[in-house]
Amino acid sequence: MRSGRRHSRKLLGSPSAAKASCIKRDTAATEKNNRTVAEIAQAVVEAVPTAKLAITGETGNDPRSYRVDFARARKELGFEAAWTIPDGANQLAKEYRERDLTREQFDQRFTRLAVLAARQKAGELDDTMRVRG
């Protein structure tokens, strides 16, 4: 996805995307958030109108695919996700806009390898990525 306002394609990778509450609903509603990457990307495009979706078929460095099953959380905890994928995409887009979060800022703060590299450069981590001291 590309965006004229430099919103990150990692829009759903933030901890805010995990926001949910425990409420009781029927079983069919629980798996409604089992979406393909393309469906999640489409939700981002709808939340960020300047974004463009390009499906290339490439898997990148992580070819894994995930299918979420909430059955155990539902049974043992009574958990149901209160937010849908589009709800989360819209909320994140709104928050990013309100904070004028750029792609560069996002990558520096929320991309694990960039954070580790910065901490290593600052001397906080040794060559094995362990905390010094």
Does residue 37 share a domain with residue 92?
A: yes
* Overall number of domains in the chain: 2
Contact 20, 76 (CB under 8 A): no
Please report the pLDDT score of residue 30 as a whole number.
53
Residue at 1 is within a domain: no
Question: 114 lies in which domain range?
Answer: 103-133
pLDDT digits (tens), the chain, 133 positions: 443 333 333 333 333 333 333 333 444 545 777 788 888 899 999 999 899 999 887 777 777 766 777 788 888 998 888 888 999 999 999 999 999 998 899 888 888 888 999 999 999 999 898 999 8
Does residue 41 share a domain with residue 82?
A: yes
**Whether the model pTM is above 0.85:** no
Residue at 67 is within a domain: yes
Which amino acid, one-letter code, is at 75?
A: K
The Cα-based distances of 82 to 11, 15, 30, 33, 36 in angstroms read: 19, 15, 9, 10, 19
Burial of 28 (0-12, 13-18, 19+ CB in 10 A): exposed
Does residue 107 share a domain with residue 97?
A: no
